[in-house]
Amino acid sequence: MTRAISFLLAAAAAGALTGCSRPKPVMKSGTFAQITSTPGQETFPSLSADGATVVFVSGASGNLDIYSRKIGEKQSVNLTSASAADDTQPAFSPDGSQIVFRSERDGGGIFLMDAAGGAARKLSATGYNPSWSPDGTQILYATERVALPELRFSTSQIWSIKVQDGGTKLVSTGDAVQPRMSPHGHRIAYWANRGGQRDVWTMPAAETADGRVVAVTNDAFMDWNPVWAPDGGFLYFGSDRGGSMNIWGVPIDEKTGIVLGPPEPVSTPALYVAQFAISRDGQKIAYAQRVSTANLYKIAFDPVAEKIAGAPVAITQGSNMAQTPDVSPDGKWLAFVNMTRQENLSVIGTDGAGLKQLTDDVFKNRTPRWSPDGKRIIFFSNRSGTYEIWSVDREGSEFRQMTNFSGPNVNVPLFSPDGKRVLANVMGGNPVIFDAAKSWKEQIPEVMQPIGDRSEFFQAWSWSRDGTKLAGVHFHTAKGLAGSAIYRFDTRKYERLLDHGGPPQWLKDGRRLLGTRNGRIYLVDSVTKKQKELFSMAPYDLGARMSIPDDERAIYFGAQTTESDIWLMGAKQ
């Protein structure tokens, strides 16, 4: 990587003011080698202390396992083959002798095993994305699972656990995920979702250290997955600020968290870098290169016989990134998010004709929903600076901001069946319902009942046709659980539906719902809780949002396939 002269001068001056020497980047230029090529996804790489071995996660065995491969060799060793449960998110210990990881075995939690595999010891009954303290005596973990930054709608805390005796301690109370302690133990880097903005932060690792929480980034870009350089002088993170999700870094004072210069890119040839790790000598970066395609499909459905008829028909073609479709009331159009370049709203005929883009900007425009009269589309967007609910006419010419929370992340809006009210979900809080015709200043929003304690919240996704019930996702961040639930307006109470699966969608009878899980569409009876698989598109991943026309003779959905391989960037000699 290169650095402009003005940046060098600014960094040198900042270093002089803080008493620090100018930090050095990990490497100025690099070579690239593909480590894995197995069909499917290889993710979560971690490098051993000597940089000679990489561990990663793969589903090649039928469930998620942790594999080890020597750099330069072609064969991998399954370290968790004895476990039928998913094992993921591995991290080498500082000396390379052990691996900490997340596992779903024995009720789930954080586990520790030898670097060569074998028996694993349970450290904690909860936690995700574990990482080590530099002396190897503690493990940091978050209470929320993170795979991709754009999929975060919950809140999380950071905890530490002692490797020797399992003693735990709460480290952070505000939202924080993917914690990493700095090489000399001064600070903890993490990222958080605040007001819909994803930024990287650092906080003191000890009570006696500088007590300030310091922002590393503060902008509209999606910044996540912080990783310290081995000498503590740089903090690297994933970011889409260059137009694609790649690796960026900033020079930093490890003791105070003060940033000493602007972000600069580590240019990999990947269009989407997911997780990455840096070797202890700073000469290698292992990263997961992710390539996805997503298109919209239609499949015939018989709601009486409860059967799928025929094969799915593609509505969009090629390498589109089409997600969260919603069918218009007349059954002729789909509104959806096209993520090919940015996150823009489009409409297309249900026959695949008449594609039209409604937004063309740098903002993140998400989850469109048609009004019952078919004249407008509501969605959530950060076009005002924070995520709020917006509406646009079907021609894309008239935008209206409907909410002005200017704080919490507002997402996933719903129209009531009569179109008179709108529900807005609030991240980490309770959904609110407001009048669709009034300005925000005129509103007295109705705040829904909480679903449980502060670690639980409900995200509504579907309003029953008779207006009496909601169906949505039930998150329990403290336990790391997500399932589905029903809210009844007459009793103002929630009912747990399932312990798994994607957001449910009501059928017209107000009793049955459709949902997705592991590439499959299933039908569930809300009274008996019985499930019936209707269709499988595995290994494709079916998106969170399905849509059903008024006659219920079809199901519209997005299907995504993803390939992810581990690559190694090495310092150019």
Q: Which percentage of the chain shows pLDDT scores above 70? A: 91
Say which residues have a Cβ less than 8 Å from residue 400's Cβ, sequence separation at least 6. Answer: 390, 391, 392
Q: Average pLDDT for residues 188-202, to the nearest whole number?
A: 90
Tell whether the model's pLDDT for residue 486 goes beyond 70.
Answer: yes
The candidate with the shortest Cα–Cα distance to 43, out of 290, 291, 321, 238, is 290
- Judge whether 136 and 151 are in contact, CB under 8 Å: no
Cis peptide before 539 (omega within 30 of 0): yes
Q: Average pLDDT for residues 196-206, to the nearest whole number?
A: 91
Q: How confident is the model at residue 15 (pLDDT cuts 50, 70, 90)?
A: very low
Choose the final residue of a domain: 282, 301, 322: 282
Q: Does a structural domain hold residue 111?
A: no
- Distance, in Å, from the CA atom of 37 to the CA atom of 57, rounded to the nearest integer, reads 13
Taking residue 128's Cβ as centre, other Cβ atoms within 10 Å add up to 21
The verdict on 329 and 210 lying in the same domain is no
User: What is residue 231's predicted lDDT score, i.e. its pLDDT?
Assistant: 94
User: What is residue 22's predicted lDDT score, i.e. its pLDDT?
Assistant: 53
Choose the final residue of a domain: 282, 302, 319: 282
- Distance, in Å, from the CA atom of 476 to the CA atom of 483, rounded to the nearest integer, reads 9
The verdict on 375 and 403 lying in the same domain is yes
Per-range mean pLDDT, top range of 29-38, 202-211, 410-419: 410-419
Q: Does a structural domain hold residue 68?
A: no
The verdict on 542 and 428 lying in the same domain is yes
User: What is residue 17's predicted lDDT score, i.e. its pLDDT?
Assistant: 37
DSSP-derived secondary structure letter, 86: -
- Distance, in Å, from the CA atom of 278 to the CA atom of 272, rounded to the nearest integer, reads 17
Tell whether the model's pLDDT for residue 288 goes beyond 80.
Answer: yes
Q: What is the mean pLDDT of the chain?
A: 89
| Listed range (63-67, 404-408, 503-507) with the worst mean pLDDT | 404-408
| Listed range (49-58, 120-129, 360-369) with the worst mean pLDDT | 360-369
| Listed range (5-19, 192-206, 373-387, 532-546) with the worst mean pLDDT | 5-19
- DSSP H helix total and E strand total for the chain: 1, 46
Q: Does a structural domain hold residue 48?
A: no
Could you give the number of structural domains in the chain?
A: 2
Tell whether the model's pLDDT for residue 302 goes beyond 80.
Answer: yes
- Cα-only R_g, the chain: 24
DSSP-derived secondary structure letter, 397: -
The verdict on 275 and 300 lying in the same domain is no
DSSP-derived secondary structure letter, 404: -
What is the per-residue DSSP string for 248-307? EEEEB-TTT--B-S--EEE--S-SBEEEEEE-TTSSEEEEEEEEEEEEEEEEEEETTTTE
Choose the final residue of a domain: 259, 282, 305: 282
**Two structure tokens written together for 207:** 């009570």
- Judge whether 101 and 113 are in contact, CB under 8 Å: yes
The alpha carbon of 539 is separated from its chain's Cα centroid by a whole number of angstroms, namely: 20
Range of the domain at 484: 292-562
User: What is residue 573's predicted lDDT score, i.e. its pLDDT?
Assistant: 59
- Count, residues in the chain: 573
Tell whether the model's pLDDT for residue 541 goes beyond 90.
Answer: no
- Kindly report, residue by residue over 213-262, the tens digit of the pLDDT: 999 999 989 999 999 999 999 999 999 998 889 999 999 999 999 999 99
- Kindly report, residue by residue over 160-188, the tens digit of the pLDDT: 999 999 999 999 988 899 999 999 999 99
Q: Average pLDDT for residues 518-535, to the nearest whole number?
A: 93
User: What is residue 197's predicted lDDT score, i.e. its pLDDT?
Assistant: 83
User: What is residue 16's predicted lDDT score, i.e. its pLDDT?
Assistant: 38
What is the per-residue DSSP string for 353-367? ---EES--SSSBEEE
The verdict on 475 and 364 lying in the same domain is yes
Kindly list the strands in the beta sheet with 520-525, ordered across the sheet, starting from the edge strand earlier in the chain. Answer: 505-506, 512-517, 520-525, 531-536
DSSP-derived secondary structure letter, 343: B
- Judge whether 223 and 385 are in contact, CB under 8 Å: no
The candidate with the shortest Cα–Cα distance to 1, out of 19, 35, 26, 18, is 26
Q: Tokens 């239609």 sit at which residue?
A: 298
**Two structure tokens written together for 406:** 């200017």
Taking residue 398's Cβ as centre, other Cβ atoms within 10 Å add up to 10
Residue 179 belongs to domain with CATH number: 2.120.10.30
